[in-house]
Amino acid sequence: MAINRAEFAEECVRQGVYFRIEPHYLLAVAQLRSGISSDDDGDRKGPFRLTQAEWDANRNDDEFEIHFESNHISSPMRQCAVAGLMAHRAFDAFSSANVRNPSALELYLQQWPLAASASLATDFLQALDATSGLLGPAADAVLDDPQSAPPAIANPQQSTTRPLPQPVTTGAPEWYNFAGSEIGKREIGDTNNGPEITRYRQLAQCGAPGDPWCAIFVNAMFALCRHPALPGTRSPSSQSFRDNRNFVQLSGPALGAVVVFWRISPNSGKGHVGFYYGETAKSVYVLGGNEGNMVQIAPMSKAQLVGYWWPASSDKPAIARIEVPPGTPDQKTQVT
pLDDT of 100 strictly over 90: no
Amino acid at 75: S
The whole-number average pLDDT for the span 176-200 is 89
Per-residue pLDDT tens for 206-229?
999 999 999 999 999 999 998 788
Total number of residues shown for the chain = 336
- What ranges make up the beta strands (E) of 46-123? 60-61, 66-67
In this predicted structure, what is the pLDDT of residue 142? 82
pLDDT digits (tens, 9 = 90+) for 152-166: 999 999 988 865 455
Contact in structure between 292 and 298 (CB atoms under 8 Å): yes
Whether residue 24 is predicted with pLDDT greater than 90 in this model: the reply is yes
The contacts found for 222-230 with CB under 8 angstroms, 24 or more apart, are 222/175, 222/311, 224/174, 224/175, 224/178, 225/174, 225/175, 225/178, 227/174, 228/313, 228/314, 230/175, 230/311, 230/313, 230/314
Query: What band does 145 get if pLDDT is binned at 50, 70 and 90?
Result: low
Query: Residue 50: which region, alpha, beta or left (left: phi > 0; alpha: psi -120 to 50)?
Result: beta
SS3 category, 261? strand
Alpha helices in 143-269 (DSSP H): 174-180, 195-204, 214-223
pTM of the model: 0.58
| Per-residue confidence (pLDDT) for residue 144, from 0 to 100 | 66
According to the model, what pLDDT value does residue 183 have?
86
pLDDT digits 0-9 by tens, 253-291: 999 999 999 988 888 889 999 999 998 777 888 999 998
7 pLDDT above the threshold of 90: yes
- Mean pLDDT, range 294-304, rounded to an integer: 87
What is the C-alpha to C-alpha distance for residues 91 and 229, in angstroms, rounded to an integer? 38
Q: Which residue has the higher pLDDT, 325 or 124?
A: 124
Does residue 306 register a pLDDT over 60? yes
Residue 190: pLDDT band (50, 70, 90) is: low
Residue 130 confidence (pLDDT):
97
pLDDT in tens, 46-70: 999 999 999 999 999 876 778 999 9
CA distance 89 to 225: 35
Q: Give dist(CA 109, CA 178) in Å, integer.
A: 36
* Residue 305 one-letter amino acid: L
Tell me what pLDDT residue 327 has: 45
Say how far apart CA 69 and CA 117 lie, in whole Å.
33
**pLDDT at 16 > cutoff 80:** yes
**Residue 325's pLDDT band (cuts 50, 70, 90):** low
Residue 298 confidence (pLDDT): 83
Beta-bridge partner residues of 309: 249, 258
CB atoms within 10 A of CB 116: 11
- The CA distance from 38 to 2, in Å, is 6
How high is the mean pLDDT of the chain? 89
What residue ranges define each of the domains in the chain, with the CATH number in brackets?
5-148 (1.10.530), 174-311 (3.90.1720)
The pLDDT of residue 4? 94
Secondary structure element (H or E) that encloses residue 309, with its range: strand 305-311
> Across-strand partners of 300?
284
pLDDT of residue 269: 85
